[in-house]
A and B are shown apart, each in its own frame.
Chain A
Amino acid sequence: MSSASLEISAYNVVKSGLSGCVLLNSTEQHILCSKKDEPQKEKFVYLNVENGFKLALYREEIEFIKKELPGVKYAVSAFLPLYAIFLEEKRENALWVLNQKEYLTVAVFKEGSVLFFRHIFKEKNFAFSKIVIDSIKEFYKSECCYFLEEIILYDCDDLEEESIRLLQEQSLLQVESRSCDLKELLNRICEDEKLKEFLLPIESKRFFLPSWIKWAAAVIFVLLVAVDVWFKYKQSQLNEILAELQRVKESLQSETGGLEETISSLKRIEPMVQKIDGENSLKIANIKNVFDLVPQTVVLKSAVFGGDYLVLEGFSDDRAGVFRLKRSLQSFYPLQRVTINKRKGRYIFKIFNKEQK
């Protein structure tokens, strides 16, 4: 195997569906008759296909790909692109050539099977026509009775026309050159169900969790999230209830405060109001009483109510009326002094009344 093939950048990889395909580069890969033994099982991975031959793929390269390209699920032999084209065209007696940037693949097919196959690394300063002529010579060494009539060249690396002309001159065979897109060709191969048996499945070395563990983890995660969401929902509900209760509490506290203040104020004014009511009523009653006691014959000119004293002034037509008034007041005001003067036929009086201490 050439050292160039161990560089990942040298590989052609295409993404096919959810997995990838890689075109093998090893020059060790070869074709065996299906009836032949598999003598180097340690060195090669043998892929049996229906058409009477088996593919021997270089194990070291497969391991390298497993390690370096874990996303790749299928390894494709370098032989397969040419074989796939051959299956479409069925042209025999031809040398099929696939020219890549660093490799050259040659094959000869007969009756749907393969007679000859080489995958060659292009050394520096290689001569394209020489490699092909050497391959033809090598073919004729093994197959003396099967004649090549043409070369069908699939050029994925833009060969110069001069190289193709030189090949035609030196080989004395008609060269039919077609340009190709290797990645597109590889992609077509990987998606073709008929060619699936030619693809080598690669077991990934990546560690994958069993799906039941993934499911269990997902279910637990969803459960935990659901529980958390439920808690948050309940909390928001309770928060609303709490806020409402808090509002009610504040309102009740305010009402209680207002009532307490009102009651306190009312209790404070109660005795004062009773006192005012009582005293006003008493004073009016006292005044009424005094005026009610004044006889018909007595006319009052002034009355001074002083709480513990009373001064009455007025006149009367007779002295008896004045004294009747004085006597009437005596029960309330035991201390009395009366002055009476007769003027113009009237008795002008002044009565001082005082409560006894």
Chain B
Amino acid sequence: MSVVKERLLYLGLGIGAILTLYVTVAFLIVPDMKRLSDMKQDIVTLEEKNENLKRRIESLQEDLTPLLRYKDYLVRFNKPLQSEEIETMLSLFGEEARVKEGMFYSEDGFKVTEYEASMKVDSPVDFYKAVEYLDTQKIPISIEYPIEFRKKDKIEISFKMRQYSF
């Protein structure tokens, strides 16, 4: 092989090697490095987002603390009592408790169900206790006028109630 041919061969091989190296670095190593760098940046961004979310949760928990006393009410707002359940509750404080479902409408963004209720008690104190019981059980029911007390063998009470729900 002549010297010129040999040199040309070396030149070709050199160029080939450099090209191969360039292609490998440009299309394999550099994209890998970029991907790695992007991933590191993604991690930093995600960590920041998670930190912000944690701070937001702490802040929300602070906001939640004073509202926790209403948490039990929330259950009843989501799952209102049936008239039979209200009747059972009133029966704890008197006799012949009756609860009849009445009108149904919306008020201030809440669904309102009206009930006609009646019961027999020995003393008005039983009625007070029944109303207090509704409050202690965190049931969103308001007692409405007119409230009638009639003395017979026992005291017959008839009144209206409104139950609020979502």
Separation of A265 and B140 alpha carbons in the complex (Å) = 14
B151 near A302 with CB under 8 A, answer: yes
Determine the chain A residues whose CB is within 8 A of the CB of B140 once the complex forms.
269, 272-273, 276
Interface centre among A209, A246, A260, A280 (most CB of B within 10 A): A280
Separation of A267 and B67 alpha carbons in the complex (Å) = 7
Separation of A231 and B29 alpha carbons in the complex (Å) = 8
B32 near A235 with CB under 8 A, answer: yes
- Say if the beta carbon of B100 comes within 8 Å of chain A: no
Q: How big is the B interface, by class?
A: 35 or more
In the assembled complex, how far is the CB of residue B16 from the closest CB belonging to chain A, in whole angstroms? 10
- Say if the beta carbon of A304 comes within 8 Å of chain B: yes
- How many residues of chain A are within 8 Å of chain B by beta carbon? 57
B146 near A245 with CB under 8 A, answer: no
B49-99 contacts to A, CB under 8 A, are 49-50, 53-54, 56-57, 60-61, 63-64, 67-68, 70-71, 73-74, 77
- Say if the beta carbon of B17 comes within 8 Å of chain A: yes
Separation of A239 and B39 alpha carbons in the complex (Å) = 8
Determine the chain B residues whose CB is within 8 A of the CB of A252 once the complex forms.
50, 53-54, 57
Given A205-B1, A238-B43, A267-B67, check contact A283 B61 (CB 8 Å): no
A217-266 contacts to B, CB under 8 A, are 217, 220, 224, 227-228, 231-232, 234-235, 238-239, 241-242, 245-246, 248-249, 252-253, 255-256, 259-260, 262-263, 265-266
- Say if the beta carbon of B47 comes within 8 Å of chain A: yes
- Say if the beta carbon of A197 comes within 8 Å of chain B: no
A272 near B28 with CB under 8 A, answer: no
Determine the chain B residues whose CB is within 8 A of the CB of A305 once the complex forms.
145-149
Determine the chain A residues whose CB is within 8 A of the CB of B49 once the complex forms.
249
In the assembled complex, how far is the CB of residue B89 from the closest CB belonging to chain A, in whole angstroms? 14
Separation of A25 and B166 alpha carbons in the complex (Å) = 109
A300 near B6 with CB under 8 A, answer: no
Mask of A102-134 contacts with B, CB within 8 angstroms, 1/0: 000000000000000000000000000000000
Separation of A252 and B58 alpha carbons in the complex (Å) = 11
Determine the chain A residues whose CB is within 8 A of the CB of B50 once the complex forms.
245, 248-249, 252
Q: From B28, B56, B109, B135, give the contact of A256 (CB < 8 A).
A: B56
A217 near B17 with CB under 8 A, answer: yes
- Say if the beta carbon of A301 comes within 8 Å of chain B: yes
Measured CB to CB, the nearest residue on chain A to B166 is: A265
B142 near A280 with CB under 8 A, answer: yes
> Mind listing 9 A-B residue pairs with CB under 8 Å?
A224-B21, A231-B36, A245-B47, A252-B53, A252-B57, A263-B60, A276-B141, A281-B135, A301-B150
- B: residues with CB less than 8 A from A are 1, 6, 9, 13, 17, 21, 24-25, 28-29, 32-33, 35-36, 39-40, 42-43, 46-47, 49-50, 53-54, 56-57, 60-61, 63-64, 67-68, 70-71, 73-74, 77, 108-110, 124, 127-128, 131-132, 134-135, 140-143, 145-151, 164, 166
- A: residues with CB less than 8 A from B are 205, 207, 209, 213, 217, 220, 224, 227-228, 231-232, 234-235, 238-239, 241-242, 245-246, 248-249, 252-253, 255-256, 259-260, 262-263, 265-270, 272-273, 275-277, 279-281, 283-284, 287-288, 291, 299-307
